[in-house]
Amino acid sequence: MNEPQAWTLIGVFAAGMFGTVTLISTMFVRMMRDGFHSVRTEFDSVRNEFGSVRREFDSMRREFASGRAEITSEFASVRTEIRAVHGRIDHLDRDVNAIYRHLFGIDRG
């Protein structure tokens, strides 16, 4: 094999290596781009799911707030009733004491 043939083989080998490196790097870049795209898509879907969870929690918070307001209102009405009953018991206690004193002659001093 003479010198021009050796240089031709070196050139062919170099061109083949350059083509192989180009092909592999192009495939690697495409694979990375597709991978990043799928990760971005997955993150977008997770973000949308977090948004729906956030909306659900906000809805539940509003329901709890309305329930809390309703319970507070009910407790206020129960307090009012208890105060009214307490007032009646005080009057009843006064009346029973008056009857007791009258029956046993304690009020005639």
Q: Please report, rounded to a whole number, the percentage of residues in the chain having pLDDT higher than 90.
A: 72
More confident residue, 85 or 9: 9
Q: How high is the pLDDT of residue 101?
A: 85
How does pLDDT run across 62-93, given as a tens digit for each residue? 999 999 999 999 999 999 999 888 888 888 88
User: Mean pLDDT for the chain?
Assistant: 90
Model-level pTM?
A: 0.44
Query: For residue 105, what pLDDT is reported?
Result: 78
CB distance 83 to 89 below 8 Å: no
For 102, how many CA atoms within 13 A lie in the half-sphere containing its CB?
6
